[in-house]
Structure 1
Amino acid sequence: MLPRRRHDLVQSFYMERLPYIDEHAITLDANRADTWSALLRVMCRDPHDATTVPVGFVLDEARAPARFALKGRHWFAIYRWVFELDELDGAARTRLRAATWAAFPGIHGKAYRALVIGTGAHRVAVRWTLKRVAARVHSRNTPVP
């Protein structure tokens, strides 16, 4: 079955293989299970339901405690945001990586890419998200006096 609109055709093409944008990472002094829990508390409206992701995204994959992937699209972009949790130091620490793939079709997409990627706004948002996850991990692991 062929897509009904040109935008659907572009979307179906790009969702197969989106261009790589970037990857950011942070190392946390927590195991993967605690990091996974913190990631869900930051990224989901209901941490017990991984499908309650931010507006503009849908859940693409949730494989605890290793991979959490979101995808989305609108008129100016088609995108995928993937978080991967790598075990370090015999499970005592976790490397949380956030990778982004996106396509920006057409002239409006080109302008949108310049606005989001070119200004550094995307980089700031991803790093802020990683810092929020780190804060959630540390707040949960801090003993209450």
Structure 2
Amino acid sequence: MDLVAKFKQSLTAQLAPHGVALSIWRGGTRSSNHLLELATSPTSTVLYVKYSAKVPGFWGLTANQLDHIVSANVRWFCVFLHQSSSSGYVLPGIQVQACINDGSFELAEAGDYKVHEQSDFSASQHFDNIEAVTSRILRGG
């Protein structure tokens, strides 16, 4: 089982006591286990989950996927897993958009935004366990 699938499994277990279901988001251009939907109220929440095994961490966010998430008018987050299914960084969509707008996340020729652990995250965005990321997502950031 890959680490994104393990993250999904752990997140499902953490969300169950809160009565929040988790599924693959169907609003994207294609079905992907990297795009998850939480049945939150009053609107659903979408998670764009990426994984890096590199040290320091390095991720790519597909511009087309981000465009679809933004246009769906949902609450959303990017989850950057780093070397584990239960640790990494989480950013609310508004912070991701700010990083894109100010050039922190650079758009590469291949059509994805490059995200670097050393320069693009603060300590407050880090999580060390699935409970911490679940708490941040459910409370909004």
Give the TM-score normalised by the residue count of structure 1.
0.29
More helix by share: 1
Higher relative contact order (CA 8 A, sep 6+): 1
Which of the pair has more CA radius of gyration? 1
